[in-house]
Amino acid sequence: MDQQLLVFVTVAEERSFTRAAEKLHISQPAISQHVQNLEQRLDVTLLDRTNKYVRLNKAGDVVYHYAKDILGLYEQMSRLVQDLKEDASGPLSIGASFTFGEYVLPHVIAEFRREYPKISPSITVENTQTVADQVAHGQLDVGVVEGSTIRVNGIHSIPFAEDTVVVVAASSHPLALQSVVTPEELSAETWIVREKGSGTREITDHVFEAYGIHPTNLIEYSSTQVIKESVEAELGITILSKWSIRKELTCNTLQVVSFSDSPITRQFSIVVRKSDFETKSVKLFQEFLQLNYAT
C-alpha cells in the first residue's frame, strides 16, 4: 500500500496532523514528512495549513478523491488474493440506507453471522445516495438501499426484495379515524419527510406526484426515528416503510391512513461495485440476501 496516500487521506479526513498520527500510530514528524514527500512527487501543494486548521485545497480535493479509489482498490485486491488461499473470512463493510439498516439489517447480520462466523461485518447506515457513492468509490464492499434505479456511475444495482410504504399518522389524528382520505385532505396537512437523497424521500415525492398531493408545509428530518416521534406527537403525517413502524402499529401509537386501494411498493436493492472480481464475502452476503429475503 502507498503509505504516503494513506497518510494524506487520513490527514484530510481528520483535518489534523496530530489526530492522523494518533490514528495511524506513527509520529507527527513522520506524518508531516509523508505529506511533504507526496507533494514533492506531484509538484503541488495539497493542504492549506494554519495554526487553527488543516484543509484540502483544489489540488488536494482531486488527489483525495483518487487516493480513496486507489486505497480501496488495493484493499479489494488484497482480499481477493486472500480468498484464493482460504475460506471466506475477515472484514466485510456493509452500507445500508436507513430503513433497511435500522429495521431489517440487524436480523440479517445475526443470521448471516451464525452461518459464516469467520466473516466480521462492519455496518454503515446512511441515506441511499451516500451508500451508493461509497460503494462506487470502494469505501464499502456492498450496500443495501431503497429503490431499484440508483443514479451512480460504477455500480451494479440488483433488486431483491419488495417493500410496502404507507401514509402514517398518530392514532389519535382525525385522518387515522377516517375510512377514506382524499388527496385534498392530505395536501392540507403538515408533512414530515426525509431529506433529499434518501430513498424514503424519493418514494414520498413519487407518491405526491402520482396521487396529486400538493403539501404546502414540509418539515425535513434526516432520521426516521425522529420522524416517528414527531408523528406520534401529532406534529404532522408522513410516509414510511411498514418495516419501520411494526412496533408502533402493534402498540397502536401510529396508524396507517387509508387513501388508496393499491399498495405503494418499492424495491430494496443490493449495490456492488462494477468489477470483474468479487470477494467471497461479498458474493456470500449477496446470495444470502437473495435466498432468505427475496420477495
pLDDT in tens, the chain (295 residues): 588 888 889 998 888 888 888 888 899 888 889 889 988 999 999 998 887 788 899 999 999 989 988 888 887 777 777 766 566 778 899 999 988 999 999 999 999 999 999 899 999 999 888 999 999 988 899 999 987 667 788 888 899 998 899 999 999 999 998 988 999 999 999 999 999 888 889 899 999 999 999 999 999 998 899 999 999 999 999 999 999 999 999 999 999 998 877 788 888 999 998 876 678 889 899 999 998 888 7
Domain 165-262 = CATH 3.40.190.10: yes
Q: What is the dihedral of CA 169, 172, 175, 178, to 10 degrees?
A: 130
pLDDT attached to residue 137? 87
Task: Please state, as a whole number, how many other Cβ atoms lie within 10 Å of the Cβ of residue 245.
Answer: 21
pLDDT attached to residue 86? 64
Fold of 3-81: Arc Repressor Mutant, subunit A (1.10.10)
Domain 87-161+267-292 = CATH 2.40.128.50: no
User: Taking the model in full, what pTM does it have?
Assistant: 0.66
Domain boundaries, the chain: 3-81, 87-161+267-292, 165-262
Measured distance CA(286)–CA(274) in Å, rounded: 14
Q: How far apart are the first and last CA of the chain?
A: 42
pLDDT attached to residue 278? 77
165-262 and 87-161+267-292 share a CATH fold = yes
pLDDT attached to residue 84? 63
